[in-house]
Amino acid sequence: MTRGLTATHDFTDLFRDVMAGVCTPVTVVTALDGDRPHGTTVSAFASLSLHPPMVLVALDRGSDLLSVVRVRGRFGVNILGHGQHDLALRFARKGLDKFDGVDWSLSSGAPRITGAPGWVACTVADLVDGGDHVVVLGHVVEADRADSPPLTYHRRTFGTHSAEQE
């Protein structure tokens, strides 16, 4: 129910506001195009399956990264930690220079950002259309983690998770 909203634009704004209230992890999804790394900030990321290990990410239908992922069939998910909002902002913008000055290495065929506390490398299992995005399902071929609080995004602000006090 849209509570009497008359225009699609009004409903889109309401939906955007509702989703801003959902706390999400902040990741940089990466892929390699020849020798050049590509990456973009993504908050639509989740684990999907344990048997086999799978994750999903949603990429904008028009993104350069999606084109690379389609061709190469591999991608990495750099799960950012508290204090890495500068990386999130860097990779959220357009352009081919996002990796300038960023330390990274190649891991299981995907660019891995040095210092990101979470990492999964994937092969593409399937691509599913979802409105203005494509959901990329990935088989996890490598995973690694460091003990660090996550970077989260909630109400259009970066933060981190903390346990509730009893």
pLDDT digits (tens, 9 = 90+) for 140-163: 999 999 999 999 998 888 889 888
Instruction: Answer whether residue 119 shows pLDDT above 60.
Output: yes
Return the SS3 of 145. strand
Look at residue 5 and tell me whether its pLDDT is greater than 70. Answer: no
Give pLDDT, residue 7: 52
pLDDT at 84 over 50: yes
Average pLDDT value for residue range 4-16: 73
Question: What's the burial of 3, exposed, middle or buried (CB within 10 Å: 0-12/13-18/19+)?
Answer: exposed
How far from each other are the two terminal CA atoms of the chain, in whole angstroms?
Answer: 36
- Arithmetic mean of pLDDT, 66-77: 98
Q: Is the pLDDT of residue 125 over 50?
A: yes
Query: Which pTM value belongs to this model?
Result: 0.90
